[in-house]
């Protein structure tokens, strides 16, 4: 199936329009994603920091609040992992760094969530 050409040898308008739509999608998708990430970075500031100290909220309460922000912003699991871990400080941040290094390419949000709860569940006010 070759291109259909008009009598003067040029590509037909429907084919040109199809090519333009494909190019626009190819160019626009990364731009839209980048803009969304910029807004998401600001929205993540709504999530309080978590240090893993006994004076912090329980980890399950912190995650509940963080997941509320994620739902409101339609974040996927990769974004949750990235933005939630950015809000960790102190002992919790150190734990995350070690966990991420151990997991490597297998790092994913559901396992990370389970692991951080297991690690900090006994933290009491």
User: For the chain, which residues make up each domain, given as ranges?
Assistant: 13-120
Q: What is the pTM of this model?
A: 0.65
Q: Average pLDDT in the 96-120 region?
A: 97
Average pLDDT over all residues of the chain: 81
- 46 close to 39: Cβ distance less than 8 angstroms: no
Residues 6+ apart with CB under 8 A from 109: 77, 78, 80, 81
pLDDT tens per residue across span 45-99: 789 999 998 777 899 999 999 999 999 999 999 999 999 999 999 999 999 999 9
């Amino acid at each position: 199936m070759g291109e259909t050409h008009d009598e003067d040898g040029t590509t037909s308008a429907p084919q040109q329009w199809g090519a333009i739509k494909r190019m626009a999608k190819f160019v626009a998708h990364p731009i839209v994603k980048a803009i969304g990430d910029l807004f998401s970075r600001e929205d993540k500031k709504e999530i309080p920091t978590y240090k893993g100290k006994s004076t912090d909220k329980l980890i399950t309460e912190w995650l509940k609040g963080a997941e509320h922000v994620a739902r409101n912003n339609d974040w996927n699991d990769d974004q949750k992992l990235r933005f939630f871990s950015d809000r960790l400080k102190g002992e919790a941040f150190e734990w995350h760094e070690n966990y991420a290094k151990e997991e490597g390419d297998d790092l994913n949000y559901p396992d990370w969530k389970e692991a951080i709860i297991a690690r900090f569940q006994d933290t009491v006010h």
